[in-house]
């Protein structure tokens, strides 16, 4: 009879199982928070209803703190939006092109089709002008022909000018030392003999007598020659032909011009 009585009574014999399942559920959802709360309860904390109640209290407290922070963020956003709206209204009112926006229910009259202006009939004079216009660009062709003729004329003038311009002639400046036989040689006669040499591309320059020693002086004379016409070998050969006055000829300096 006692057993039957207990069967009909509403007694929760396995409540600890549901409490344990609920605790594991919150641990899976909350992660470290629930674990930390469980650790703070100490090693002697009970896993029964009292432990679950403390975990729920901690969870509710953390949610309230999070809710308060979210409310603060939402209030800040609302204040920023209201400030932006006020600033936008001020800018719209201060702009010179501001005008009131028409309500959506405003009646708009249908657009009226605008007829294009009537074309005036062309006068005979205008018809003649249109006939004179070349649609195929005959003026451009004439300009192209004139430009081509001008270019050819300039090229011809340049070619003629280049042909008349003398070609560059390579020249050299040579300083010669002409030595006499002895101190009795007439140096004036020696210089006259040297200057008597006339060759195409040869021009004699300044001269002077330079002491050598023992009363002997040599003739130092300058000349300019065209390289293609007169060489140093030819000069030495022509000067040494005066055997009575000239002992030898040396090149003291040679410079290209």
Averaged pLDDT for residues 34-59: 57
pLDDT at 40 over 60: no
pLDDT at 151 over 70: yes
What pLDDT sits at residue 118? 58
Torsion of CA 224, 225, 231, 235, to 10 degrees: -50
pLDDT at 52 over 70: no
51 band by pLDDT with thresholds 50, 70 and 90: low
Residue of 223 and 3 predicted with greater confidence: 223
- Integer Cα distance of 225 and 201 in angstroms: 5
- Integer Cα distance of 216 and 185 in angstroms: 9
What pLDDT sits at residue 198? 93
pLDDT at 194 over 90: yes
| Terminal CA-CA length for the chain | 147
The string of pLDDT tens digits covering residues 166-190 is: 667 789 999 999 999 999 999 999 9
What pLDDT sits at residue 20? 80
Residue of 109 and 93 predicted with greater confidence: 93
Q: Is the pTM of this model over 0.85?
A: no
- Integer Cα distance of 57 and 29 in angstroms: 15
Residue of 26 and 103 predicted with greater confidence: 26
Strands 216-226 and 171-180: antiparallel
CA-wise closest residue to 247 among 157, 160, 180, 155: 180
What pLDDT sits at residue 191? 94
Please give the structure tokens belonging to residue 184: 């009795």
Phi (first) and psi of residue 94, to 5 degrees: -80, -15
202 band by pLDDT with thresholds 50, 70 and 90: very high
Superfamily in which the 174-256 domain is placed by CATH:
Ribosomal protein S6/Translation elongation factor EF1B (3.30.70.60)
Residue of 142 and 46 predicted with greater confidence: 142
- Number of Cβ within a 10 Å radius of residue 219: 24
- Integer Cα distance of 232 and 179 in angstroms: 16
The residues spanned by each domain of the chain are: 174-256
36 band by pLDDT with thresholds 50, 70 and 90: very low
């Amino acid at each position: 009879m006692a057993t039957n009585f207990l069967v009909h009574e509403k007694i929760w014999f396995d409540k600890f199982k549901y409490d344990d399942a609920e605790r594991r559920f919150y641990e899976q959802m909350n992660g470290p928070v629930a674990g930390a709360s469980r650790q703070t309860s100490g090693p002697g904390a009970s896993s029964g209803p009292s432990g679950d109640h403390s975990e729920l209290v901690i969870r509710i407290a953390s949610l309230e703190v999070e809710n308060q922070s979210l409310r603060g963020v939402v209030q800040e956003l609302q204040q920023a939006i209201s400030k932006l709206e006020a600033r936008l209204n001020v800018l719209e009112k201060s702009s010179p092109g501001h005008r009131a926006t028409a309500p959506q229910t405003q009646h708009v009259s249908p657009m009226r089709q605008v007829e294009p202006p009537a074309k005036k009939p062309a006068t005979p004079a205008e018809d003649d002008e249109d006939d004179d216009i070349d649609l195929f660009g005959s003026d451009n062709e004439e300009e192209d022909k004139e430009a081509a003729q001008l270019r050819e004329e300039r090229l011809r003038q340049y070619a003629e000018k280049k042909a008349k311009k003398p070609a560059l002639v390579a020249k050299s400046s040579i300083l010669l030392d002409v030595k006499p036989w002895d101190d009795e040689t007439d140096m004036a006669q020696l210089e006259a003999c040297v200057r008597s040499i006339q060759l195409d591309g040869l021009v004699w320059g300044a001269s002077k007598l330079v002491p050598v020693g023992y009363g002997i002086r040599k003739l130092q004379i300058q000349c300019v020659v065209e390289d293609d016409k007169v060489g140093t070998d030819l000069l030495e050969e022509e000067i040494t032909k005066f055997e009575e006055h000239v002992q030898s000829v040396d090149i003291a300096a040679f410079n290209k011009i």
